């Protein structure tokens, strides 16, 4: 039974980023303990940190799962590794795929491996706007609406890309 809800942020700026994200969504959907519920459009955003790297392509998906948070983290990191993710010292460097667990139910958690809800989410337009697209009524962990968080966040040139992710083909 897949009763736990989670939101996952997806990002890439190397090796055909849109395809990296679409393939990661397929891998999430194919996992026996994960059910892909909804996915946002793709968004283009400027990189965080060093600006001498390509722009990012981002999306957010909503899943249900029977996995516990650290088990889900293991799955996300395995998918990243399958896509050639290299964990370098530069925290904000370019990457083939970045999968961040943003929220897991209403869980608050702080461990060496995982902080929930995601620690920088409220300042990241490339997370908040796609999340709003798929969950506009979401209430955040501080009791505010997602819309209120977006109203306080700079959009920093965020662009929604015209091509929607073909959710039907992923889910089939």
List active site positions.
85, 95, 98, 100
Question: Is the distance from CB of 94 to CB of 54 less than 8 angstroms?
Answer: yes
In this structure, is the dihedral angle defined by the CA atoms of residues 67, 106, 12 and 165, taken in order, positive or negative? positive
In this structure, is the dihedral angle defined by the CA atoms of residues 73, 20, 138 and 115, taken in order, positive or negative? positive
CA separation for the pair 135, 36 (Å, rounded): 14
String of DSSP letters for 103-118: EETT--EE-SS-EES-
Q: Which of left, alpha, beta for 84 (phi over 0: left; psi -120 to 50: alpha)?
A: left
């Amino acid at each position: 039974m897949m009763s736990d809800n989670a939101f996952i942020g997806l990002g890439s700026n190397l090796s055909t980023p849109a395809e990296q994200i679409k393939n990661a969504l397929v891998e999430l959907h194919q996992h026996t303990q994960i059910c892909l519920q909804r996915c946002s459009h793709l968004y283009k955003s400027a990189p965080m940190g060093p600006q001498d790297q390509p722009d990012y392509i981002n999306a957010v998906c909503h899943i249900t799962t029977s996995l516990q948070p650290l088990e889900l983290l293991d799955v996300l990191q395995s998918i990243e590794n399958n896509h050639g993710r290299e964990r370098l010292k530069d925290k904000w460097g370019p990457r083939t795929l970045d999968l961040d667990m943003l929220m897991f139910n209403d869980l608050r958690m702080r461990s060496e491996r995982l902080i929930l809800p995601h620690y920088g989410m409220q300042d990241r337009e490339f997370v908040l706007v796609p999340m709003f697209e798929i969950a506009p009524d979401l209430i955040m962990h501080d009791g505010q609406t997602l819309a209120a968080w977006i109203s306080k966040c700079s959009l920093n040139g965020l662009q929604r890309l015209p091509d929607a992710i073909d959710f039907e083909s992923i889910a089939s």
